[in-house]
Structure 1
Amino acid sequence: MMTFIVSILLLVFGYMVYSKVVERIFGINDRNETPAYKSRDGMDYVPMSWWKGSLIQLLNIAGLGPIFGAILGALYGPVAFIWIVVGCLFAGAVHDYFSGMLSLRHNGEQYPTIVGRYLGKYVRVFIYIISIILMILVAAAFTAGPAQLIAELTPLSFLAALGFIFAYFLIAAVLPVNKIIGKIYPVFGAILIFMAVAIAGALLFTNQPIPNLTMTNLHPESLPLWPLLMVTISCGAISGFHSTQSPIIARTIKKESDGRKVFYGAMVAEGIIALIWAAAGMTFFGSTVGLESALAAGGPAGVVNEISTSLLGTIGGILAILGVIILPITTGDTALRSSRMMLTEFLGKSFKGISGKKKVVFATIPVTVPAIYLATIDYTFLWRYVGWTNQVVATVMLWTATMYLLKHFKFHWICGIPAMFMTSVVCTYIFYAPEGFGMAYQPSLAIGLTLTSFVLAWYIRQIYVHRKEKQEDSASSLAS
């Protein structure tokens, strides 16, 4: 139990201290006019208070991610606590802060456009494609489960429930951000927090103690920690999906100093939620073997329902249903919203002459149709591809932030070190995982680390190039 409590305290302390370090390195200026005022359009650019933005950001980036991912990661045992704390504070929250603040500095630009500014046009095109694919996969993966549960609880068929959900997506997509998202989603964000706090309180008063830290891998199938844990627990540690959501809120922030509370703060809150559900998964079923059996019987949704109902009674059951239905739907909604924004930016000329809500509808339909189709196929297939694609997007965002800091001669290591770490994760994972090349572990590790070394060499070269530019600028200033 002590490991769990210390982990939560570390996340809180990290927010209080390290977030201010990150903010200072980035360099905020509250005199700068934010996109919410500069480009105010009553649709996407609408000023909002920081607390409302924080709750919406938490709901947008979280949904069921820090619940399902943490439960699956709990199969590895208490070592998952380390990854959640370290990953959240030094990688995920830094990633979220820079993705939001760079968007804010560039008038609410979408993630791929920001990537293009600092990593070049070819990377921009690649990340446009992979980001839109990720958004479609997320929308599909996070609506298939709710549709299935609605079909079980109501007279609606699965396809009818799916149609109902996507009809809501289309309606939400064409309405201004402050009409549905701004008014209702903060309430759902509060429900997400209340659900986690209630589970944490119930855990602390159960007879079975929460396991303390051990470096032993407790996975029942002895799957390797590296790099699988880093992909299994993404939301709550680091998730590329967040960089696609941050521009939505970046377009609503009133002043730059709100960014720390909204972007870094929401990620830390998600990390705490992930810690709670990881602890619940490790504790409630007695062992990781018991958790594996529960997952095999009812999947992550069944585990959430069983834990919530048993620990919280009727209220827990209601919260579980709300969580498993509403939270993923809201994630799917904002995934399609951000993909619509990306598509509009990517194909800007194609939408010339189309204005207002017609443009929104025309940009939403091309991403909605494939999402509907994918929602009808095997959920586990979808989730496997979401994981790796998600972490590739996160890695590219960290490199983008690193290049931004290098370009402005700032302390780039706060992004460069986690970027290198995540590079080694995704390079190794794609060769080892069954949805990748499915190679043996040792060769996958060797290839992954070799590819990482090439990226490291590129990074060192970039440091040298920018250092030389700084010296030339200094010499030029002295000469003048």
Structure 2
Amino acid sequence: MISFILSVLVLILGYYVYGSFLERVFGADKSAATPANRLADGVDFVVLPNWKVFLIQFLNIAGLGPIFGAIAGAMYGPAAFLWIVLGSIFAGAVHDYFSGMMSLRHDGKSISEVVGIYMGDSAKQIMRVFTVLLLIFVGTVFLVGPAKIIDGMTDGYLTMWGWVSIILVYYLLSTLLPIDKFISKLYPIFGIAMLLMAVGLLIALFTGGYHIPEITGSTLRNMTSNPDKTPLFPMLFVTIACGAISGFHSTQSPLMARCMGNETSGKMIFSGTMITEGVVALVWAAVSMTFFGSVGGLNEAMIANNNNAAWAANEISLNMLGPVGGILALLGIVAAPITSGDTAFRSARLIIADTFNVNQKTLVKRLLISIPLFVVAFGLTQMDFGIIWRYFAWSNQTLATIVLWTITIYLSNLNKNYWISLLPAVFMTMVCSSYIFIAPEGFQLAHGLSYALAAAITIAATASFIALRYRKQRAALAN
């Protein structure tokens, strides 16, 4: 229990101390005119109250990540607590704050456009394709996942495909309608429900006599049932993404950068939501380790149920929260991913619109971009859900890595403290490289060889940045 309490306290302290430090490094300007004020269009560029922007951003980035990812990550044991805390503060908050604020400074541009500004046109074109594909994966995952959960809750009342159809109609509406007419009305309600669910579980933890494993020398190890097939590094750092660092967040931040009335709101909206998501992930990791008796009990239960995190989340909610659990589970476990899926499609629409300079004021133009996205997503629902989820997980962390390198170049160009993003960029490069070499959906190479190849890629990426910085410094001196 002590390790868990300290983890929560460190996360909160990290927001106030490190979050303020990040804000000073960036140089948020209270008097600067934001895109929502300068480019107001009544559809995507609309000034919204800070509390609404916070809840929308939180629900946008949360999805299934801090629930499903935390449950799967808890199978590794208390090491998950350390990654959630350190990842959220020193990687996730840096990634989310700067990606959001850089978008804000560049007229609310999509992350692919921001990457292009600092890494060149080739990187921009690759990022446009990569990001849209990731967002379609996200939309598909958050289309099938919730439909499966609702189908299970309703005992096959409408079949999974019936729920898929209903969710798809909702996605179409939320993608097309002005942000202040639909999303800003529903999201705060769902966001509050998800937070209440986490608070309810937290209270149940403290009052139900549960024993949360402590971080000790004996527990700080890989506690999965088959450590050889699921090495803690890099698997844990990809399994828990949205509760620590997630590239998907950078695709959502521009949506809110277009709705902010003041630059100084960025700390609360971007860093604050990341830290809040970290707290939610901590709660779910803790209840997962305790509800089934132990970390070993969690592993056994997950294996017996085909590693179905949705089943585990439903069991935990209904049993720990009592009669209210069903309602909160429906709103928190189902609404959260749905409300991330719809903004994934909305983000994809905006990226394509930015790419081809298509004005989005008219409904017809929004439809022309959106319909093909939904057709592709529906086609992907015919694939095995597990395969889609795994590719989403890796591509998600790869995007986060690219964004961290972009932030590093941005800070270096301005002669600001680039170490705050360079260190997590190097770490995540090693994580993503080794994962694709080791993972079943990757090259399935021996661990030693995989780590060596990943180290070579990481060194090459770091050397490229150092060389780029050196060339720019020489050019500056020459001028």
TM-score, length of structure 2 as denominator length: 0.95
Cα deviation, residue 397, structure 1 = 0.6
Cα deviation, residue 325, structure 1 = 2.2
Q: Distance in 2 between matches of 1:472 and 1:87?
A: 40
1:232 pairs, out of 231, 235, 239, with 239
1:338 aligns with 2:355: no
1:112 aligns with 2:117: no
Aligned to 1:82: 82
What is the identity, as a one-letter code, of the residue corresponding to 1:255? N
Aligned to 1:425: 431
1:287 aligns with 2:294: yes
What is the identity, as a one-letter code, of the residue corresponding to 2:260? I
Deviates more, 1:254-263 or 1:360-369: 360-369
What is the identity, as a one-letter code, of the residue corresponding to 2:293? G
**1:77-156, aligned counterparts within 5 Å?**
77-152=77-152, 153=154, 155-156=157-158
1:169 pairs, out of 156, 166, 171, with 171
Q: Is the 8 A contact 1:305 1:321 kept in 2?
A: no
Q: Is the 8 A contact 2:434 2:453 kept in 1?
A: yes
What is the identity, as a one-letter code, of the residue corresponding to 1:217? N
Aligned length: 470
Gaps of 5+ in 2: none
Aligned to 1:451: 457
Q: Is the 8 A contact 1:94 1:264 kept in 2?
A: yes
Identity of aligned residues (%): 46
CA deviations over 1:159-191 (Å, ceiling 9, x no partner):
222111111111111110011111110111111
Q: Distance in 2 between matches of 1:284 and 1:183?
A: 35
Q: Secondary structure at the match of 2:32?
A: coil
Q: Distance in 1 between matches of 2:402 and 2:175?
A: 27
Q: Distance in 2 between matches of 1:44 and 1:221?
A: 47
Aligned to 1:387: 393
Q: Distance in 1 between matches of 2:472 and 2:418?
A: 11
Cα deviation, residue 218, structure 1 = 1.0
Cα deviation, residue 49, structure 1 = 1.3
Aligned to 2:275: 268
Deviates more, 1:137-146 or 1:16-25: 137-146
1:160 aligns with 2:162: yes
Q: Distance in 1 between matches of 2:193 and 2:377?
A: 27
Cα deviation, residue 120, structure 1 = 0.7
What is the identity, as a one-letter code, of the residue corresponding to 1:62? A
Aligned to 1:187: 189
2:258 pairs, out of 230, 248, 251, with 251
What is the identity, as a one-letter code, of the residue corresponding to 1:104? L
Instruction: Give me the CA root mean square deviation.
Output: 1.4
Q: Distance in 1 between matches of 2:225 and 2:303?
A: 12
Q: Distance in 1 between matches of 2:29 and 2:471?
A: 28
Aligned to 1:412: 418
Cα deviation, residue 305, structure 1 = 1.1
Aligned to 1:220: 225
Q: Distance in 1 between matches of 2:348 and 2:468?
A: 31
CA deviations over 1:3-43 (Å, ceiling 9, x no partner):
10000000000101101110101111111110111000000
Cα deviation, residue 355, structure 1 = 5.8
Aligned to 2:212: 210
Cα deviation, residue 471, structure 1 = 4.3
Q: Is the 8 A contact 2:110 2:251 kept in 1?
A: yes
CA deviations over 1:302-336 (Å, ceiling 9, x no partner):
11111111111010122112223221111110010
Q: Is the 8 A contact 2:44 2:179 kept in 1?
A: yes
1:375 aligns with 2:377: no
Cα deviation, residue 462, structure 1 = 2.4
What is the identity, as a one-letter code, of the residue corresponding to 2:327? I
Cα deviation, residue 279, structure 1 = 0.6
Q: Is the 8 A contact 1:147 1:161 kept in 2?
A: yes
Q: Distance in 2 between matches of 1:210 and 1:406?
A: 42
Cα deviation, residue 344, structure 1 = 1.2
Gaps of 5+ in 1: 474-480
Q: Secondary structure at the match of 2:97?
A: helix
Q: Is the 8 A contact 1:398 1:415 kept in 2?
A: yes
Q: Is the 8 A contact 1:169 1:336 kept in 2?
A: yes
What is the identity, as a one-letter code, of the residue corresponding to 2:128? Y
Q: Distance in 1 between matches of 2:215 and 2:477?
A: 48
Aligned to 2:372: 366
Q: Is the 8 A contact 2:241 2:397 kept in 1?
A: yes
Q: Is the 8 A contact 1:220 1:288 kept in 2?
A: no
1:323 aligns with 2:332: yes
Q: Secondary structure at the match of 1:108?
A: coil
Aligned to 1:307: 316
CA deviations over 1:239-267 (Å, ceiling 9, x no partner):
00000000000000010000011000000
Deviates more, 1:201-210 or 1:405-414: 201-210
Cα deviation, residue 467, structure 1 = 3.4
What is the identity, as a one-letter code, of the residue corresponding to 1:367? L
Q: Distance in 2 between matches of 1:321 and 1:172?
A: 19
Q: Is the 8 A contact 1:406 1:466 kept in 2?
A: no
Q: Is the 8 A contact 1:43 1:177 kept in 2?
A: yes
What is the identity, as a one-letter code, of the residue corresponding to 1:240? G
Q: Is the 8 A contact 2:43 2:361 kept in 1?
A: no
Q: Is the 8 A contact 1:173 1:337 kept in 2?
A: yes
Q: Secondary structure at the match of 2:208?
A: coil
